[in-house]
Structure 1
């Protein structure tokens, strides 16, 4: 059995379908099916029952999955020990990163990092900050938005003020009534917007709210005149001269999203992690 086989079992259990797993790991569906059959033949047990909707773990499958988790964890511990004892920077660097940061800033940073440390394996997970917070101990470093992560060392990376955009002007003397386009984010982002709208209900009244998955989709819908959109400066600075907008402020202070780098105490003893943190904290974001 290879480490990749154990990782496949965990991914199948996480996603719940062969088709979804194949899409996530970028190989064909028949290849996933064939590898699963090999693993089940190796153990001589059925690991998953195939139902029309999803995969269901068998009792033997649960035992094998627990073993797979231990094998992968032990492999990671071994790699970390080897990287600490080596003069070269190598090993695995696991990163959990807010989707916005991973799209807007991380490619450039990881490009520089991998050029400098080509023997380091990057394990990157992206998503909304709320999900990352729940599983932050699974990663070497987390880059999240909103409030800093408790029980971790947190370094403030940058502030990202919010603006509301539209294709139509924002009048000062009448209430602006327009649909509001929202993108999938964590609760803290939606709370900031809802609180601002509550305090400005005599100026702006959303007729209805449309929610889309991606921030880029939100931008494009706004550009087509479908409605207003609240966007952080980091992804909208190029739109400032083209579209009407106002800054979100409360009591004269900008409504801002904070971005944090968080990690567990002692993790910087791993050279590959320490080098990434140094590179990230030396970066100019805004």
Structure 2
């Protein structure tokens, strides 16, 4: 058994389907199916039941998955130990879990600068909704999330991102307009619901829901409705109508945090990356953090 086999089992358990796993790790479904047959043969039994909707762990599978987690963690700890013995050279793998919004608008600039300085560091990156990153935070050296910090980790505040209601029409018309909502974590939804609860009627129809903030932005730009957008994704929309979201004269915003486990800054690549984040001036250029 190779370490990649154990990692494959963990991915299958996490994603629940062979198709989804194939898409995630960029390997064909037949190749994953064949590899899984070999692994199950190695352990002498069925690890996953293949139901029409998802993969379900068997009793043997639960035992094997626990072993897989231990193997993968021991391997990562061993690699980290070797890196700590490598003097002052910044190298090795840096695993990052980052929110989708941060990844699209800020992370490319940060990684461009970081990898130029430290070309020996290999970037292992996963992006997703902040709650997804929180749920799998133990897999990463560094997590970058929006909303609330991860309470079980050391957290540093990166920046505050004010929220604005935007539209192609004046925002005080007495006509109910479609509100274009996008998928986000419960903390953002709570902020939005708090604001909507105090709006006069008619205000909007909650009739359009999309999977990403960028889709909401593009639909709004074409006059299909209004959208609540963070400042970080709307800095190029200067010709549109906009008002800041407020509750009791208190501006509503989203905070962005970098979080990591206590002691991980002893790894040179982790310390260097967090330093890169801490010294970035986030809103000095539109949509991109710079030195």
What is the TM-score of this pair, normalised by structure 2? 0.90
User: Aligned-pair distance for 1:247?
Assistant: 1.6
3-state SS in 2 of match to 1:170:
coil
Give structure 1 stretches of 5+ with no counterpart.
none
Distance (Å, rounded) in 2 between the aligned partners of 1:66 and 1:151: 22
Residue 176 of structure 1: how far off its partner (Å): 4.2
Partner of 2:121: 120
Between 1:157-166 and 1:88-97, the stretch displaced more is 88-97
Aligned pairs (5 A) from 1:112-261: 112-171=113-172, 175-201=174-200, 205-241=203-239, 243-261=240-258
1:281 corresponding residue in structure 2: 278
Report SS of the residue matched to 1:168. Answer: coil
The 1:13–1:28 alpha-carbon spacing in structure 2 relative to 1, beyond 3 Å, is: same
C-alpha contact 2:49 2:56 (8 A) present in aligned 1: yes
What RMSD over aligned residues (CA atoms) do the two structures have, in Å?
1.8
Q: Is the 8 A contact 1:159 1:256 kept in 2?
A: yes
Q: What per-residue deviation string (whole Å, max 9, x for no partner) do you get for residues 30-89 of structure 1?
A: 111121122223333332232332222232222222111111000011011011110222
Q: Distance in 2 between matches of 1:20 and 1:152?
A: 29
Identify the residue that residue 50 of structure 1 maps to in structure 2: 50
Unpaired segments of 5 or more residues in structure 2?
Answer: 284-291
Q: Deviations over 1:123-142 (max 9, x none)?
A: 22222222333343332221
Tell me the distance in 1 between the aligned counterparts of 2:29 and 2:196: 46
* Deviation for aligned residue 1:284: 1.3
1:115-158 residue CA offsets vs partner (Å, 9 max, x unmatched): 32233232222222223333433322211111233243221111
Distance 1:130 1:16, change over 3 A: closer
Contact 1:15–1:21 (Cα < 8 Å) also in 2? yes
Q: TM-score, normalised by structure 1?
A: 0.91
Q: What are the equivalent positions in structure 2 for 1:64-103 lying under 5 Å apart?
A: 64-87=64-87, 88-103=89-104
Query: How far 1:178 moved relative to its partner?
Result: 0.6
Q: Are 1:268 and 2:265 an aligned pair?
A: yes
Q: How many residues align?
A: 282
User: Shift of the alpha carbon at 1:281?
Assistant: 0.7
Q: Distance in 1 between matches of 2:109 and 2:127?
A: 16
Q: Residue 56 of structure 1 aligns to a residue in which SS?
A: strand
Q: CA deviation at 1:104?
A: 0.8
Could you list the per-position Cα deviations for residues 239-280 of structure 1 after superposition, in whole angstroms to 9, with x for gaps in the alignment? 122x22212233444221111112222111111100000011
